[in-house]
Structure 1
Amino acid sequence: MRVHSFHSHLALFYHDNDDCPFGQTIKPLSRRPGKAGLGLCMLCRKLDKEDEDANSSMVHEAQLED
């Protein structure tokens, strides 16, 4: 599930998906808001795409039922 972007002070990437195991290793008190000029974590990107594909599929199925 997408969340507001966050990173840690030692991070090379930012995260925006709560399901990312790498982002989950950052303790809530160590999370800093925003992207800080970092690139998006590759796993977050993959999870975001899967979420978008699933949502798109659900919308398409709902349209077929109408």
Structure 2
Amino acid sequence: MKGQLRRQAQREKLARRVVLLTQEMDAGLQAWKLRQQKLEEERKQENVLKPKGISLSPLPHQ
């Protein structure tokens, strides 16, 4: 009976660790996805077509 209780306690402890690690991984994955999404938005902003011609040339000083 003693061994059975010990094994049951070990299984419960392991199950708790698995749940905690799973939660940590889910949170980390969600944070990573959010970070990737922000980086993608920044990349899109950088790649937006920029105006050419007069709007870019500095005004001549007189």
Normalised by the length of structure 1, the TM-score is 0.41
Structure possessing the higher relative contact order (Cα contacts under 8 Å, 6 or more residues apart): 1
Which TM-score applies when normalising by structure 2? 0.43
Q: Which has the higher strand share?
A: 1
Structure number with bigger Rg = 2
